[in-house]
Amino acid sequence: MFSLASIATMAACIFLFGLFFSLVWNFTSIVKGAEEGVGVTVFFEADIEQAKIDEIGDAIKARPEVKEVKFVSADEAWDEFKSDYFGNKAEGLEEGFKDDNPLANSASYEVYVNNIEDQAGLVSYIETLDGVRDISKSDVAAKTLSTVNTLIGYVAVAIILILLVVSIFLISNTVSIAISVRKSEISIMKLIGATDLFVRGPFILEGVIIGIIGAAIPLGGLFFVYEKACTYILTKFSVLASFINPVPRGQIFEILIPVGLVLGVGIGLVGSIITVRKHLRV
């Protein structure tokens, strides 16, 4: 009875861990997508030669924190400006600026980093490059995304630790009860010459089995429910579909299943060993 109760509680803990793991991964994916849209724009000094622009680009690309560098010519910058600010009316402006580009000195590099936390260091480096006139960046967006990443990390660690402590406590109680119930059998086994390992082994094995079963049940359930839950949420709350793209099930569970099973076995093993050492004197 106590073993079944421990399996059920272990399953609940692993289920919460798996659910939280999936939510954090998806939320991290959303934040990562937002990071990819945040970059810095590097502008050059007036009348700079193309060879110097290429030299600056090569120096930026060589930085390890840089993910992508995109060159935007003055003509491309003007076309984008017309499209963004004048829409369909931009066609009429072409005659007035046919031979004169108002953004003639606005060629630039759009630079994107692997991690938003590296943006400040990259900007400091680019400012030292000869030929760079100005750098446009969004400090607020970078700071916000960096703070969100840190917060996700702290919350994830806190919840995992709580689940670990609760699970180990439950396994420990189950093994402790099993020991107290079987005291007479243990005494008889010692009297007929059973070794310490022979007496302790079944209790440790019991904790491991509880951990395996308690982890396998919720992991299997989450595997089959994940995609249906994502589809239901996006259908029920259609506004979320515009900026949420769920992480594929295979990508999540290729990590979650082994981690969950190892976690279950580890919790069962640690909980049973601690209890056996504390309560079983052989």
Determine the residue type at 22: S
- Any domain includes 85: yes
CA distance 145 to 114: 13
CA distance 164 to 259: 13
- Any domain includes 152: no
Number of domains in the chain: 2
CA distance 143 to 50: 33
- Any domain includes 183: yes
Q: What pLDDT does 250 receive?
A: 84
- Any domain includes 145: no
* Per-residue confidence band for 4, with pLDDT thresholds at 50, 70 and 90: confident
**Are 210 and 267 contained in the same domain?**
yes
Per the document, the length of the chain is 282
Task: Name the CA dihedral angle for 13, 14, 17, 23, rounded to a multiple of 10 degrees.
Answer: -120
Q: Report the range of poorest mean pLDDT among 120-124, 160-164, 173-177, 201-205.
A: 173-177
**Are 260 and 210 contained in the same domain?**
yes
**Domain range spanning residue 179?**
2-34+157-279
> Mean pLDDT over residues 63-90, rounded?
68
On the question of pLDDT at 278 being above 70, the answer is no
Q: What pLDDT does 84 receive?
A: 57
Written as six digits, the tokens of 77 are: 């910058």
**Are 118 and 174 contained in the same domain?**
no
Residue from 202, 236, 219 nearest 13 by CA: 219
**Are 214 and 166 contained in the same domain?**
yes
On the question of pLDDT at 114 being above 60, the answer is yes
Written as six digits, the tokens of 60 are: 């930026």
The whole-chain average pLDDT of the chain stands at: 76
- Any domain includes 142: no
Separation in Å, CA 268 to CA 92, 162, 190, 214, 265: 74, 16, 25, 9, 5
**Are 92 and 182 contained in the same domain?**
no
- Any domain includes 150: no
pLDDT higher for 242 or 52?
A: 52
On the question of pLDDT at 240 being above 80, the answer is no
On the question of pLDDT at 141 being above 80, the answer is no
**Are 172 and 83 contained in the same domain?**
no
Q: Report the range of poorest mean pLDDT among 62-76, 113-127, 163-177, 221-235.
A: 163-177
Q: What pLDDT does 45 receive?
A: 80
Residue from 217, 199, 197 nearest 209 by CA: 217
- Any domain includes 144: no
* Per-residue confidence band for 191, with pLDDT thresholds at 50, 70 and 90: confident
**Are 118 and 178 contained in the same domain?**
no
37-76 pLDDT, tens digit each: 667 888 888 777 778 888 888 888 888 888 888 887 766 6
Q: What pLDDT does 202 receive?
A: 80
Q: What pLDDT does 207 receive?
A: 79
On the question of pLDDT at 98 being above 60, the answer is no
CATH number at residue 112: 3.30.70.3040
